[in-house]
Amino acid sequence: NAGVTQTPKFQVLKTGQSMTLQCAQDMNHNSMYWYRQDPGMGLRLIYYSASEGTTDKGEVPNGYNVSRLNKREFSLRLESAAPSQTSVYFCASNTPGQGKDTQYFGPGTRLTVL
Amino acid sequence: GENVEQHPSTLSVQEGDSAVIKCTYSDSASNYFPWYKQELGKRPQLIIDIRSNVGEKKDQRIAVTLNKTAKHFSLHITETQPEDSAVYFCAASLNSGGYQKVTFGTGTKLQVIP
């Protein structure tokens, strides 16, 4: 049972480049989330997927797109990276409302945009 | 929307002393309050949680209290040890449209001095 996994662990991009962050969970959770973590600002929600086939914007969606590929996988895409997107990105999953409200986090992707 | 304030931002205690971290929230509909511990370079991990129908919960050296009327909740760590040194995040959440809407505090960096 790997829990929540993310790839890559580290990435350096130049301004304007694109990339996709991958996330997968093997806990059969319905909901998946992408957060970014910046110093002094806690975790902020970028996008979420309440269930397979649905996605919606969170608090800070600008500059990002997501795809819920299937129940296990939820990817985050940066189409044209900007220095303001330098951050640590965490994926999380849970099944809210069934006594499984706890969100489990992946190990994170540290992204630097030059 | 929900707003979570967390204090203090940094906390230094001597090994063996107690540590208390306080959070307030604004949305009375929030009904689940997890606490996460994040070690340097690692993912946030749940250490304890409490639901709105409970006033206090304890797990060994860690306890959480919730005052719904005042909309505040606190984390108490007794007999602190050097391995308790980390950043701690509180959060307030509720189920909304099939996903869990979570608002995190900005974190408390706890340093336990041996």
pLDDT given at position B20? 98
pLDDT per residue over B51-107, tens digit each?
Answer: 988 899 999 999 999 999 999 999 999 999 999 999 999 999 988 777 888 999 999
pLDDT given at position A100? 67
**Residue A16 C-alpha, separation from nearest chain B C-alpha, in angstroms:** 27
pLDDT per residue over A25-67, tens digit each?
Answer: 999 999 999 999 998 778 999 999 999 989 999 999 999 999 9
Q: Pull the structure tokens for residue A80.
A: 């044209």
pLDDT per residue over A12-21, tens digit each?
Answer: 999 999 999 9
Q: Do B34 and A102 touch (CB under 8 A)?
A: yes
Distances in Å between the Cα of B45 and the Cα atoms of A9, A106, B31, B40, B60 are 18, 10, 20, 12, 17
Q: Phi then psi for A83, rounded to 5 degrees?
A: -55, -30
Please check the confidence at residue B16 and state whether its pLDDT lies above 70.
yes
**Residue A79 C-alpha, separation from nearest chain B C-alpha, in angstroms:** 25
